[in-house]
Chain A
Amino acid sequence: MNMELSRRSFMLGAGAGLAGTSLGALGFGEIEAAHALSIRPFKLAQTKEVRSQCPYCAVCCGMLIFSAESKEEKGKMEVTHIEGDVDHPVNRGTLCPKGAGAIDYIKSKVRVKYPMYRKPGGTSFERVSWDFAMERIAKLLKEDRDANWVEKNRDGVTVNRWLTTAFLAGSSVANEGGWATFKVSRGLGLLQIENQARI
Chain B
Amino acid sequence: MFTPVANPTTKPVPAKFGEQDLIRRSASKVTPPAKRQTEVAKLIDVSKCIGCKACQVACLEWNNLTEDVGVNVGVYDNPHDLTENTWTLMRYTEYENAESGNLEWLIRKDGCMHCEDPGCLKACPAPGAIVQYSNGIVDFVHDKCIGCGYCVKGCPFNIPRISKADSKAYKCTLCVDRVAVGQGPACQKACPTQAIVFGTKDEMKQWADHRIKDLKSRGFKNAGLYDPPGVGGTHVMYVLQHADKPQIYASLPNNPTISPIVEIWKGVTKYAGLAAIGAFAAIGFIHHAVAGANRVSEEDEKNAERLTEGRQP
Contact = CB atoms under 8 A, between A and B. Distances in A.
Direct contact of A and B (CB under 8 A): yes
A39 B280 CA distance: 30
B283 to A, nearest CB: 7
A95 B194 CA distance: 11
Given A10-B147, A24-B29, A32-B28, A41 B128 contact: no
A3 B10 CA distance: 36
A101 interface: yes
22 contacts: A13-B126, A16-B127, A23-B127, A24-B28, A29-B29, A33-B25, A36-B141, A39-B18, A39-B180, A42-B13, A44-B10, A45-B12, A47-B10, A64-B7, A81-B61, A83-B62, A83-B190, A86-B189, A93-B7, A96-B190, A100-B58, A100-B61
A103 interface: yes
B250 interface: no
Interface string A45-75: 1111100000000000000101000000000
B126 A39 contact: no
Interface stretch (B152-160, B204-212, B222-230, B268-276): B268-276
Given A42-B178, A96-B54, A49 B10 contact: yes
A21 B139 CA distance: 18
B293 interface: no
Chain B, interface size category, equals: 35 or more
Nearest to B183: A42
A197 interface: no
Given A24-B28, A96-B192, A14 B283 contact: yes
B91 to A, nearest CB: 16
Interface string B178-201: 101100001001111110000000
A152 to B, nearest CB: 55
Main secondary structure of the interface of B (DSSP, over half): loop
A95 B269 contact: no
Interface of A: 3, 6-7, 10-11, 13-25, 27, 29-30, 32-34, 36-49, 64, 66, 81-87, 91-97, 99-101, 103-104
